[in-house]
Structure 1
Amino acid sequence: MRRVSIYELDPGMIVARAIFNSEERVLLHAGVELNEKYIHGLQKAGVMSVYIRDELFDESDAVSDIISEKTRLKAIRTLKESFNLLEKKHQLNLHAVKNTVDEIIDEIIANPNTLVSLTDIRSFDDYTYAHSVNVGVLSIMSGVSLNYERSQLKELGVGALLHDIGKIKIDKNILNKPDDLSPEEFTEIKQHSKAGFDILRQHSGLSLLSAHIAFQHHERWDGQGYPRQLSGEEIHEYARIVAVADVYDALVADRPYRPAYSVTQAISILKRMTGLFLDPQCVKAFLNNIAVYPLGCLLELNTGELGAVIDINRKTPAQPVVRVLYDRNWRLLTPYELDLSKNSALVVKNVLSERQIKELKKNL
């Protein structure tokens, strides 16, 4: 399967992964054949990309998520309920949040060799909750890479899930504005860090270090961030970890004002931000867990041959296992597999865009 922008979908394509909203209601089931009505409905619901089935891949090539669909949906629901409860009754269900973090930690630890190869599909309305869950998952994975103990992973995970909780104090019209923010609007947005800290530090059952993640996740390594212009190791390491996950997940998500960046583009941006916005050590720990070329993407090798990524090498994620499908002239081959980690002469030249894939299939 592969991820396709809503604008690149065609009637007849088959949905590969079910699409849910934050109430766990299925918008479209896996196996459904798309038509114009479904595509328009997804667009109206704010879903801007879909995983579709591709005949280039076997059923055995199915991509596994880092955490189960059940755990992800439960975590999104828990966060949404927690945010709503806080807004309406000024209460925070820390017990539910901590249980969710425990479940995420258990699944990550149980699958130590799995790299992030999927981007969850979310509607714009559910962005805050899905984003917070992703930041939690990615931050915990970085903590594992940094050899954190269970208690540290839990502090980190709780703070990461709640890092944006201060946004409940921000005008929703500003939060959801599809256009550029005015200087005054951006000044208001920046208040969410301090607001989140003030909310979280009032709860005795929550570590003050977890609360500092909300306070500090927009501080910059070079001291040019907010709200206090902390720099380097003045910023707590938990917040430095969450800052990396926060930036990455925002980049690979579809937003009202732009489509998602590809994984390779997002990694390139992270590397450019390293040492300025982001802690180099935390970026390194983060990238240890990301598949540079996700399962299901089509690559052009330096030989001119084209192939699909079917497996990822944990120690050398930039050198995946590729099923070669076409020769340099785009003629269909008898498929064979190449492990790029075992042949230094073979390198990835390019990741094919959806437009190139369609052109490729049209010429067959």
Structure 2
Amino acid sequence: MIRKVPVEELRPGMEVVKLSSEIWEHLPFLYTRPGVIESRSQVERIRAEGYLHAFIQVGEGGEAMDRRLDGLLAGPDSLPPPKPRVPFEQEMEVARVTYDRAMHHAKRIIHDVKLGRKVDYEASVETVDAIVNSAIRNPDTLLCLSKLSDYDDYTYAHCINVAAIAVVFGEYMGLGREELVRLGLAGMMHDLGKTAVPSRIINKRARLTDVEFEEIKRHPEYGCDILVRQREVTDDVLEAVRDHHEKFNGSGYPERLVNRDIAPFARIISLADVYDALTSDRSYKDAILPNKALAIMYGMRGQDFDPVEVQMFIKCLGIFPSGSLVKLNTGFYGVVYESNPSLPLMPKIKIILDEDLRPIPSELVDLAAAQALGNRNLEILECADPASYRLNLRPYLTRSG
């Protein structure tokens, strides 16, 4: 398992998890240099450099970690009943158009805000309405597409990914349609305030100075200032934009709100925001595998996130979220098509590569159905990193066969 600990609890022999992502905005004083802690003097140096927390690996490898999470999240009592879905391949064609149009709209509104223009709110509602429609028909398509965006478009893709992931989770939690649209609007606009922060700070790869971080901490309020001038924007959208960096234990910003004092939409946006930051490629860093990102977020429960809400978020996405490349016990590789909230280790997968990573005629397999029929010979061993094999998964996910 992965656990977030205060730096003062680090001890020689503990292993710090590799965490090369855009998480600095959420955890600016996080120590992220991976490897085993060698000595007490190393801990003292880390403290002296001003770091407050680190993520450590607690005694279990990837497969054990997945199974432990599966056991913790398998309780059926809080699980919403399954809903009928449009087939993945059928909805993917529609979802791809929806996603591409949303990306175009995100570029437009960010450009307009930088020029001092108002956000086209009516067009924003139409864009999010299409995202909500797709999430209702088959949420796994949007989750797949959120992991296939090009890093050169990260600024825009992040807005759309957060909106899509938040809507998928909100739909899973039973929010009504109008609520989902407002939630999606909040997700799409949650970082508009960054347009008022100097680009040298936004694009800085090194650790921020205290002064720079204080400026970053103002972007939720900048975002509210941009949107409050538009009368169409509802209070719950404004609250979500303002509060999306608040934390369960009161250590967030800008108001250091605690637990249920944080607006409900903001708590959902925060989960989607961190997940997308962890799992997105950038020009200067590789994404973290989706299952590892969820394990990291689980390690943040009770500190950054409400323990129940982060557990439900992981149930929604699945231990192996849609779009994940997985290695099977046969040595073959597959890509996850659809998650299975009731049996997180048994999603639907498309087997696409042999043990030597050579393409094979694809085969769609429902692991849960196969086991129900007595076939226990096929299972997922671990997530794999497509970047390590120079694989582009998009063709496998956006076409049938």
The verdict on a shared fold, with TM-score over 0.5 as the criterion, is yes
1:248 equivalent among 255, 270, 275: 275
Report the AA paired with residue 149 of structure 2. Answer: I
Contact 1:66/1:115 (CA < 8 Å) preserved in 2?
Answer: no
* Aligned match of 2:226: 199
Structure 1 residues 134 and 346 mapped into 2: Cα distance closer, same or farther (>3 Å)?
same
Please give the alpha-carbon distance, in whole angstroms, between the structure 2 residues aligned to 1:310 and 1:247.
21
Unpaired stretches in structure 1, ≥5 consecutive residues? 1-60, 359-364
Structure 1 residues 65 and 269 mapped into 2: Cα distance closer, same or farther (>3 Å)?
farther
Are 2:320 and 1:288 aligned?
Answer: no
1:168 equivalent among 195, 207, 212: 195
* Aligned match of 2:148: 120
Please give the alpha-carbon distance, in whole angstroms, between the structure 2 residues aligned to 1:325 and 1:176.
37
User: Aligned Cα RMSD in Å?
Assistant: 3.4
Contact 1:63/1:117 (CA < 8 Å) preserved in 2?
Answer: no
Are 2:136 and 1:109 aligned?
Answer: yes
Count of residues in Structure 1 that have an aligned counterpart in Structure 2 = 296
Contact 2:317/2:339 (CA < 8 Å) preserved in 1?
Answer: no
Report the AA paired with residue 249 of structure 1. Answer: D
For residues 294-332 of structure 1, the C-alpha deviation after alignment (integer angstroms, 9 at most, x for no partner) is 45724143xx644424654533232135677999999x9
Contact 1:65/1:117 (CA < 8 Å) preserved in 2?
Answer: no
Matches within 5 A, 1:209-358: 209-291=236-318, 292=320, 294-295=322-323, 297-301=325-329, 305-309=331-335, 311-314=337-340, 315-321=342-348, 339-341=366-368, 342=371, 347-353=379-385
Report the AA paired with residue 221 of structure 1. Answer: F
> Cα distance, 1:211 vs. partner?
0.8
**Segments ≥4 residues shifted beyond 6 Å:** 61-64, 323-330, 332-338
> Cα distance, 1:134 vs. partner?
0.5
Contact 2:321/2:339 (CA < 8 Å) preserved in 1?
Answer: no
Larger deviation, residues 61-70 vs 102-111: 61-70
Please give the alpha-carbon distance, in whole angstroms, between the structure 1 residues aligned to 2:144 and 2:343.
14
> Cα distance, 1:339 vs. partner?
4.9
Matches within 5 A, 1:136-175: 136-175=163-202
> Cα distance, 1:116 vs. partner?
2.6
SS in 2 for 1:299: strand
> Cα distance, 1:191 vs. partner?
0.8
Unpaired stretches in structure 2, ≥5 consecutive residues? 1-87, 391-401
* Aligned match of 2:235: 208
SS in 2 for 1:226: coil
Are 2:106 and 1:79 aligned?
Answer: yes
SS in 2 for 1:117: helix
Contact 1:139/1:160 (CA < 8 Å) preserved in 2?
Answer: yes
Contact 1:138/1:286 (CA < 8 Å) preserved in 2?
Answer: no
Structure 1 residues 222 and 84 mapped into 2: Cα distance closer, same or farther (>3 Å)?
same
Please give the alpha-carbon distance, in whole angstroms, between the structure 2 residues aligned to 1:344 and 1:288.
23
Please give the alpha-carbon distance, in whole angstroms, between the structure 2 residues aligned to 1:166 and 1:329.
47
SS in 1 for 2:291: helix
For residues 35-92 of structure 1, the C-alpha deviation after alignment (integer angstroms, 9 at most, x for no partner) is xxxxxxxxxxxxxxxxxxxxxxxxxx97975962222122122122112222223322
TM-score by length of 1: 0.70
TM-score by length of 2: 0.64
Please give the alpha-carbon distance, in whole angstroms, between the structure 1 residues aligned to 2:221 and 2:353.
54
Aligned residues: percent identity? 29
Contact 2:327/2:381 (CA < 8 Å) preserved in 1?
Answer: yes
For residues 201-233 of structure 1, the C-alpha deviation after alignment (integer angstroms, 9 at most, x for no partner) is 222111011011111000001111001100110
Please give the alpha-carbon distance, in whole angstroms, between the structure 2 residues aligned to 1:98 and 1:227.
27
Contact 1:115/1:289 (CA < 8 Å) preserved in 2?
Answer: no
Contact 1:133/1:161 (CA < 8 Å) preserved in 2?
Answer: yes
Give the number of the structure with larger relative contact order, counting CA–CA contacts within 8 Å between residues 6 or more apart.
2
Report the AA paired with residue 70 of structure 1. Answer: V
